[in-house]
């Protein structure tokens, strides 16, 4: 593989740090000079060879949420909040976001869109079923006075395996040890699930930028 090129649709499956080699699911491999990884920590540690059992065990007990996203296209809407939290115990979603409030260019003229976020503990439970999740979000639409079911043009359901990291007391103890071991193996974790921190997208991006800048690969950052 050529340096400086971006490769898409590659899934890393194994890493041999002693040989500085990453193996991909399509049978290809790459030898690296420096490795920066935004792959979720438990998966990253799981695919590395030569990891002490103590570190593997610590990485395995990191917990995170997954998130089921129910997106709804509407022909009309009575709500104009960009995003809001939901505390009703009969509504599965904890938060909703309206791309059509962000920009009217996100929807056809006169229409609206909303995305409900249903979080679940991905470490020890399954994502909600599509039918149950979508029905509950349609119920939420009406209950919260956002729109009537008759206004719904379409729904979309998808599950992201990583939503947020879960901060437990044990995480505070385990995380520094895992990261310190990775750095010792010349792997720099970056991003939300690489660093296992509640980072927003700009912070996730900058964590990678800063790590690489410190490794002197990029030009110094200029404001």
Beta carbon of residue 150, minimum distance to ligand FAD (angstroms, whole number): 27
Comparing CB distances to ligand FAD, the nearer of 50 and 202 is 202
Where along the sequence are the contacts to ligand FAD (CB under 6 A)? 10-12, 38-39, 43, 67, 117, 160, 162-163, 191-193, 199-202, 204
Strands (E), 6-104: 12-16, 21-24, 29-31, 35-37, 65-74, 83-85, 95-97
Beta carbon of residue 120, minimum distance to ligand FAD (angstroms, whole number): 12
Closest CA relative to residue 39, chosen from 168, 217, 162: 162
Output the residue with the shortest Cβ distance to ligand FAD: 191
Beta carbon of residue 43, minimum distance to ligand FAD (angstroms, whole number): 6
Beta carbon of residue 200, minimum distance to ligand FAD (angstroms, whole number): 3
Q: Residue 115: which H helix or E strand, with range?
A: strand 112-121
Q: How far apart are CA 156 and CA 133, in angstroms?
A: 11
Q: How far apart are CA 144 and CA 98, in angstroms?
A: 14
Comparing CB distances to ligand FAD, the nearer of 90 and 202 is 202
Comparing CB distances to ligand FAD, the nearer of 75 and 205 is 205
Residue 207, φ and ψ in degrees, nearest 5: -65, -35
Which residues, listed in sequence order, are joined to residue 36 by a DSSP beta bridge? 188
Comparing CB distances to ligand FAD, the nearer of 55 and 199 is 199
């Amino acid at each position: 593989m050529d340096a400086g090129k971006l490769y898409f649709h590659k899934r890393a499956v194994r890493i041999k740090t002693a040989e500085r080699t990453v193996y991909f699911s399509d049978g290809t491999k790459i030898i690296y000079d420096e490795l920066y990884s935004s792959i979720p920590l438990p998966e990253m540690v799981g695919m590395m060879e030569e990891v002490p059992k103590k570190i593997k065990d610590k990485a395995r007990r990191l917990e995170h949420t997954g998130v089921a996203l129910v997106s709804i296209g509407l022909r009309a809407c009575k709500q104009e909040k960009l995003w809001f939290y939901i505390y009703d115990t009969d509504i599965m979603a904890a938060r909703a976001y309206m791309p059509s409030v962000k920009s009217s260019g996100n929807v056809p003229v006169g229409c609206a869109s909303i995305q409900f976020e249903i979080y679940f503990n991905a470490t020890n439970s399954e994502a909600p079923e599509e039918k149950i999740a979508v029905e509950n979000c349609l119920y939420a639409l009406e209950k919260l006075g956002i729109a009537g079911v008759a206004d719904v043009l379409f729904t979309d359901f998808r599950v992201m395996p990583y939503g947020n990291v879960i901060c437990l007391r044990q995480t505070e103890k385990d995380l520094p040890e895992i990261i310190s071991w990775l750095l010792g193996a010349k792997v720099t974790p970056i991003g939300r699930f690489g660093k296992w921190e509640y980072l927003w997208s700009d912070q996730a991006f900058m964590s990678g930028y800063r790590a690489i800048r410190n490794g002197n690969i990029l030009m110094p950052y200029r404001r």
